[in-house]
Structure 1
Amino acid sequence: MRGSLLARQLARRLLSNLPESTVYGGPRPQEASAARRVTVTTLRGKHRRGEPITVVTAYDYPSAVHVDSAGIDVCLVGDSAAMVVHGHDTTLPISLDLMLEHCRAVARGAPRPLLVGDLPFGCYESSAAQAVDSAVRVLKEGGMDAIKLEGGAPSRITAAKAIVEAGIAVMGHVGLTPQAISVLGGFRPQGKTVDSAVKVVETALALQEAGCFSVVLECVPAPVAAAATSALQIPTIGIGAGPFCSGQVLVYHDLLGMMQHPHHAKVTPKFCKQFGDVGNVINRALSEYKKEVETRTFPSPSHTPYKITPTDVDGFANALQKMGLSAAADAAAAASENSGTDGGPKENS
């Protein structure tokens, strides 16, 4: 009986994280999204009905919450985090372990969309077995629903097939494959010649044959993307590939206009439309914060919520005097004098 009573008391404590009792609002149980969870089957249905599929990248809890709230179909935890989050010039430096940290944060913030995690450079090239092991980690440790891998070389097709046979959904990626910039000579569009265009379509077909549920087409001419989309029975997701794909994907920071530094403005992709001016909004807010702190207008009375009564201030000041902290006692008394009767600062008249 005593054990069960203690268990009930402990349960009540664990479930009583009320905002009123904590400084920052307290932990709240994450509520399941009202909308039904997006799955690979959901995407197949949209593709069959000719409905465009929306994909956006996310790299942390806040961006995942925004993507989820907007009703985006697929949340891609991209290795582009290396560039837009960690400041590298390419996607190559990010490790699988670091990608898993990003995946876990996104999984906590996006309960509704299909979650796809990139396999970063260096974690799947050696063998099909290595690719399967890495993909398993992305699902088991990262909380993803599927993985994405780049390229269409025979070894990549073999890896994709092995991952699918291991029971893991795979999104392919052809055209410009950022992990291959060493071979490509930089971030260069693909499919601009007959041979290159044919290769894009052939590679996409090979990935479909390997069992991929969709294929990203990056930085290819619109006619090439249209041909690939027509040839495939699975959805194509375009990025810099024109309007004829089954869906579109953009990088979170790019579409929101977050990167306002001249360096980032110079490298922002030509194909990216900025749907927001978030970078300038952030800059203005930070500048305003700096100004208000320096002019002592922040924090205002409305942002000074924690009170102490005048009686307790007197007792506190006396205790400080006994400690030999006369200046501290005077500071407390002066602050109380310049505060309202409830211990908060007075409103400016």
Structure 2
Amino acid sequence: MKNIYTYGGHPARRNLTVADLQQAKAGGRKLTQVDAATTEEARMLAGIGVDVITIADLDIEAVRLGAPETFVTGSQTMVQYVTEDEALAAAIACAEKGADAIYTPRGLKTVERLAGEGLAVQGHLGLVPRLSTRVGGLRTIGRTAEEALQLLESFRRLEEAGAYACEIECVAVEALEMIRDHTGLVTYSIGSGSGGDVIFSFLVDIAGDVENPPRHAKAWGDVLSLRKAIRAEQEQAVTAFRAEVVAGTFPDTAHTVGMKPGEAERFREKLANWKSPHL
């Protein structure tokens, strides 16, 4: 564990720092990254020993509560913040609450704006799903030498913009393996093979909790079947509940509390002689 100060000026401890990630890259040590959205998920990942947790930036407080000492990257979406100033303001707010790095899929100007304020910035190269129409749809990037060379140039520009790391999505295995040694960026591989410095997978994919997982996803569990079984049990229970209400058999005496002995009769007699003062 390393002692640090957060961007917000609070003393804290972390399993990793940016410098540690860069040293792990240099030493060939493979690390793991998984996403979390809740305190419970973050606590689970931290307890297992996942090296880096990636989150939606708005979930930072919940995740920090569950994983107070794990390196956390707060992620911004493509459309969440329009201008560089808006992205910077949100990044600073996220870092103030404990994020160690900020991920952005936006362009180099946004990366430069965030990095210029001392934030550790992670970009995105390879297949950027929301920009997939520009490359002919959802496909693997860098399967030809020419495209791999173009990708290497994108690495260079991203590094020059001030990023310390980059998510590399759906890049040809050999391309990333060769590019990795020609960039100082810490590479987070998802669907790009084991050539990345950090191997990233989503929790839903790992746990088998998605109906149609992408080709690069591997499931080590079958949470989806459990979730379907839970839903089926819920439907059976609600169906039975409704049927008994309609039939008049619920609520019954086993699930209600009556008046004390004799009190119902006394109340009935009082009602017979009662007149409302409002009539």
Band of TM-score, shorter chain: 0.7 to 0.9
Which residue is equivalent to 2:38?
60
**Cα pair distance change 1:133/1:182, threshold 3 Å:** farther
Check whether the contact 1:176–1:190 (CA below 8 A) recurs between aligned residues: yes
Check whether the contact 2:78–2:104 (CA below 8 A) recurs between aligned residues: no
Superimposed CA distance per residue, residues 239-292 of structure 1 (whole angstroms, 9 cap, x where no aligned partner): 111112212101110111012xxxx32xx1101111111222333355467768
Q: Does structure 1 residue 158 correspond to structure 2 residue 158?
A: no
Check whether the contact 1:201–1:227 (CA below 8 A) recurs between aligned residues: no
Superimposed CA distance per residue, residues 21-40 of structure 1 (whole angstroms, 9 cap, x where no aligned partner): xxxxxxxxxxxx9x953322
Listed as ranges, the matches of 1:32-181 within 5 Å are: 36-78=14-56, 100=58, 102-124=59-81, 126=83, 128-140=84-96, 143-150=98-105, 156-181=107-132
Normalising to structure 2: TM-score of the pair?
Answer: 0.75
**Cα pair distance change 1:189/1:324, threshold 3 Å:** farther
Deviation of residue 320 (structure 1)? Answer: 7.4
Q: Does structure 1 residue 237 correspond to structure 2 residue 188?
A: yes
Check whether the contact 2:24–2:197 (CA below 8 A) recurs between aligned residues: no
Q: Does structure 1 residue 283 correspond to structure 2 residue 221?
A: no
Deviation of residue 181 (structure 1)? Answer: 3.1
The CA distance in 2 between the partners of 1:274 and 1:282, in whole Å, is: 15
SS in 2 for 1:144: coil
Check whether the contact 1:57–1:250 (CA below 8 A) recurs between aligned residues: yes
Which residue is equivalent to 1:305?
none
Q: Does structure 1 residue 322 correspond to structure 2 residue 263?
A: yes
SS in 2 for 1:231: coil
The amino acid across from 1:227 in the alignment is: M
Identify the structure with bigger relative contact order (alpha carbons < 8 Å, sequence gap 6+): 2
In the alignment, structure 1 segments of 5+ residues that lack a partner are 1-32, 79-98, 297-315, 327-349
Check whether the contact 2:36–2:55 (CA below 8 A) recurs between aligned residues: yes
SS in 2 for 1:51: coil
Q: Which has the higher strand share?
A: 2
Task: Indicate the percent of aligned positions where both proteins have the same amino acid.
Answer: 25
Tell me the matched-pair count: 241
**Cα pair distance change 1:325/1:215, threshold 3 Å:** farther
The amino acid across from 1:212 in the alignment is: A
Normalising to structure 1: TM-score of the pair?
Answer: 0.61
The amino acid across from 1:223 in the alignment is: E
Q: Does structure 1 residue 188 correspond to structure 2 residue 129?
A: no
**Cα pair distance change 1:124/1:227, threshold 3 Å:** farther
The CA distance in 2 between the partners of 1:157 and 1:289, in whole Å, is: 48
Superimposed CA distance per residue, residues 160-209 of structure 1 (whole angstroms, 9 cap, x where no aligned partner): 12211212110121001123234345322222233321121111122222
**Cα pair distance change 1:258/1:246, threshold 3 Å:** same
Deviation of residue 321 (structure 1)? Answer: 5.2
The CA distance in 2 between the partners of 1:148 and 1:245, in whole Å, is: 17
Listed as ranges, the matches of 1:211-230 within 5 Å are: 211-230=162-181
The CA distance in 2 between the partners of 1:75 and 1:144, in whole Å, is: 10
The CA distance in 1 between the partners of 2:199 and 2:265, in whole Å, is: 68
The CA distance in 1 between the partners of 2:25 and 2:139, in whole Å, is: 29
The CA distance in 1 between the partners of 2:180 and 2:264, in whole Å, is: 78
Check whether the contact 1:53–1:237 (CA below 8 A) recurs between aligned residues: no
In the alignment, structure 2 segments of 5+ residues that lack a partner are 1-11, 242-256, 268-279
The amino acid across from 1:148 in the alignment is: Y
Check whether the contact 1:237–1:245 (CA below 8 A) recurs between aligned residues: yes
Task: Give the superposed CA RMSD.
Answer: 3.0
Q: Does structure 1 residue 207 correspond to structure 2 residue 162?
A: no
Superimposed CA distance per residue, residues 120-163 of structure 1 (whole angstroms, 9 cap, x where no aligned partner): 1224554x33332232233236x422111125xxxx22321221
The CA distance in 2 between the partners of 1:38 and 1:243, in whole Å, is: 21
The CA distance in 2 between the partners of 1:324 and 1:258, in whole Å, is: 58
Listed as ranges, the matches of 1:290-309 within 5 Å are: none
